[in-house]
Amino acid sequence: MPTRLAIVNSPIDATSTSAWAELTALHSSFSPDLRGWFAADAGRVERMSLPLGDLHVDLSKNLVTDEILASLVKLAEQTGVADRYAAMLAGEHINTTEDRAVLHTALRRPADAEPHLIVDGQDIDADVQEVLGKVAAFAERVRDGEWKGVTGKTVTHVVNIGIGGSDLGPVMVYEALKPYANAGIEARFVSNIDPTDIAQKTADLDPETTLFIVASKTFTTLETLTNARLARQWMWDALVASGAISGDDASKTDAVAHHFVAVSTSLERVAAFGIDTDNAFGFWDWVGGRYSVNSAIGLSLAISLGPDVFGDLLAGFHTVDEHVRTTPLEKNVPVLMGLLNFWYGNFLGSQSHAVLPYAQQLNRFPAYLQQLTMESNGKSVRWDGTPVTTETGEVFWGEPGTNGQHAFYQLIHQGTKLIPADFIAVVNPAYALEDGGQDVHALFLANFLAQTKALAFGKTAQEVEADGTTGPLVAARTFAGNNPTTSIFAPALTPQVLGQLIGLYEHITFTQGIIWGINSFDQWGVELGKQLALQIAPAIQGDAEALAAQDASTQALIEYYKANRK
């Protein structure tokens, strides 16, 4: 990607470009034909298969011709994708509504990166390395047993209390890399303000060996602070009941100091909660919540998986950052995948995008991507405040294969909606098991390959008849094919590979945001609900005036609640 630096003030309207006109013309005569394209073009697969770090990305089963791809790449050029990326890396305040730089890529720059990145007069590299060093040192103290609880016992469980970006990244990575957890420390994650979450996650824990990490960028989030108070009370009650602490104020403060640490940009609020700021790990307003798993927000990972694994994860992200920075647009994998998503959503009318990991360890990856993609690009105004000129963010969803096959694949194969899907698989499993001499993981991968093949090429009525089917059943058993998929294959789910995967989707998201003219780094759309919840809470708890202020439906629902609450 060329790195001409420019301050991009106003978004370029994609619909006003010559590339858009070209795509419109190509679309008017477009008739997808993966069978025909594959038959006529022996080089298609090789041409459309690209490396990205350790990932092998096969784009050949997408509904594009070379001509369409070339026009899409032109659209990226004409909407300033490269310039905006360069502006982000340089620390320009591309998060316009919050007047902030966007520097999650700085979190994974190598320790010896030169020259240092200086933004707004601040040495970003030095700041990042200082916090990473503090995280690693603390993680080692916990892992090797030097850090002890209030009764002198070592830590067996870390419980991360956070929500959104302060939860989804850590829990997804922990699930994915659990085979690397080698210190006998289990991580758990509490996010929901539904009291069930914390009650169930602490039910079998020993407070003397549990370390809570309160993870909140702002340290104002209702769910997280409520859960943190519940955890603190749970710990105090249990320690007093067992006689481990007396229960006086000094003993309670001491217990918090031994069992609570925090990750936040606001150390004042951490102190106000009662957590010693010596045990707090900072980060910066230029890290968006959903882009923060590389920051101290990953503390639970550094403890449970180890600082080296965490470092390898960051290195994986950096590989993708470098790929995006240095690779021409036509070979730039995240840019191309973003452009394909754009083609499907803006020209072929698709509304959603499935992410289907053929790796059980990635079971939380679709949930993680939902925040990354939809909180970033679910917008209808552009970064200068003007309305968008086209459709924007698609709905991301998914489940690990093969579970999805037995649930919703029917609709993808034979429904009326176009649902592009990304299939993600690894060659070597974490657990290589055999079933009567049969490699079970090979069987699993056969399903990944079968599904992408069936979606692409379908089954014609003639082929169905050739199998002996007749009459109305022929139509029911016919598969139209031409359902687009991207296959992402990697040697194994290592920390580096996981970092590359996450980085890939971060940059896909950014590419789409730029083309739509969207600021992918704010999230004003979550604010109204938060404000209303605070207004409604008193109404549920008996405040007549607050109840009267609600609309008729909300009032009726509150009355139902009051009538049924035991």
Catalytic machinery residues: 375, 406, 530
Asked whether position 290 contacts ligand F6P by CB under 6 A, the answer is yes
Asked whether position 299 contacts ligand F6P by CB under 6 A, the answer is no
- Least separation in angstroms between CB 422 and ligand F6P: 23
Asked whether position 526 contacts ligand F6P by CB under 6 A, the answer is yes
- Least separation in angstroms between CB 165 and ligand F6P: 3
What is the DSSP secondary-structure string of 224-242?
A: HHHHHHHHHHHHHHHHHHT
How many residues touch ligand F6P under the rule CB under 6 A: the total is 14
- Least separation in angstroms between CB 285 and ligand F6P: 11
* Pick 82 or 88: Cβ nearer ligand F6P: 88
Question: Which one of 165, 307, 458, 481 is in contact with ligand F6P (CB under 6 A)?
Answer: 165
Please choose, from the candidates 336, 499, 496, 376, the residue with its C-alpha nearest in 3D space to the C-alpha of residue 88: 376
- Least separation in angstroms between CB 233 and ligand F6P: 20
What is the DSSP secondary-structure string of 112-148?
A: T-SSPPEETTEEHHHHHHHHHHHHHHHHHHHHTT-SB
Asked whether position 507 contacts ligand F6P by CB under 6 A, the answer is no
How far, in Å, CA of 316 to CA of 314, rounded? 5
394: tokens are: 């698609």
Using the rule CB under 6 A, give the single segment among 56-64, 215-223, 272-280, 359-367 that binds ligand F6P: 215-223
How far, in Å, CA of 331 to CA of 296, rounded? 33
Identify residues 364-393 at the interface with ligand F6P (CB under 6 A): 375
Using the rule CB under 6 A, give the single segment among 99-107, 159-167, 336-344, 395-403 that binds ligand F6P: 159-167
Q: Name every residue whose Cβ is closer than 8 Å to that of residue 4 and which is 6 or more positions away in sequence.
A: 82, 83, 86
Q: Give the H or E element holding residue 553.
A: helix 552-564
Question: Which one of 163, 205, 425, 455 is in contact with ligand F6P (CB under 6 A)?
Answer: 163
How far, in Å, CA of 539 to CA of 155, rounded? 42
- Least separation in angstroms between CB 169 and ligand F6P: 9
Question: Which one of 53, 170, 289, 484 is in contact with ligand F6P (CB under 6 A)?
Answer: 289
Asked whether position 272 contacts ligand F6P by CB under 6 A, the answer is no
How far, in Å, CA of 294 to CA of 488, rounded? 22
- Least separation in angstroms between CB 164 and ligand F6P: 3
Angle at 95 between CA 91 and CA 99, to 5 degrees: 85
Question: Which residue is at the shortest CB distance from ligand F6P?
Answer: 289
User: Cβ distance 171 to 189 under 8 Å?
Assistant: yes
How far, in Å, CA of 111 to CA of 335, rounded? 27
Identify residues 312-351 at the interface with ligand F6P (CB under 6 A): none
Contact residues: ligand F6P, CB under 6 A: 163-166, 216-218, 221, 224, 289-290, 375, 523, 526
